[in-house]
Amino acid sequence: MAGLDPLIHAPARLQLVTALSAVSEAEFATLRSALEVSDSVLSKHVSALVEAGYVRSRKSVHAGRRTTWVSLTPAGRRALHDHVAALRRLIDAVQ
């Protein structure tokens, strides 16, 4: 269906961009816990979304330890909005 974005359609990626849409940025460990995935799984999804320009990742020191922060880019927000609109059209067609 037109508008569905295969990159963010996978459940874990959709959960990730949805979670990021509610905040300015989130700590990697917080996202890992929220999505209930391993570090390697989350890292793979973040990398794919960074490559697409949908999320941004930065490293810093927080509470004395290295931390990775992830945020949704404007392109990622648009992609999520368009994907959700396509899902709504799909759902409306069922009713």
pLDDT digits (tens, 9 = 90+) for 78-95: 999 999 999 999 899 886
Instruction: Flag whether 53 is in a domain.
Output: yes
Residue 34, domain member (yes or no): yes
Task: List CB contacts of 55: < 8 A, sequence separation 6 or more.
Answer: 16, 17, 20, 46, 49, 70, 71, 72, 73, 76
35 in a structural domain: yes
Q: Is residue 68 part of a domain?
A: yes
* Domain-located, residue 70: yes
Domain residues for the domain of 13 are 6-94
How many C-beta atoms surround the C-beta of residue 45 within 10 A?
Answer: 23
Query: Does some domain include residue 1?
Result: no
What local confidence, expressed as pLDDT, does residue 56 receive?
98
Q: Of 8, 67, 65, 58, give the one whose Cα is nearest residue 32.
A: 67
> Could you tell me if residue 80 is inside a domain?
yes
Please give the tally of structural domains in the chain.
1
| CATH code for position 59 | 1.10.10.10
**Does some domain include residue 74?**
yes
Give the global pTM. 0.88
| Higher-pLDDT residue of 53, 63 | 53
Confidence at residue 1, expressed as pLDDT on a 0 to 100 scale: 55
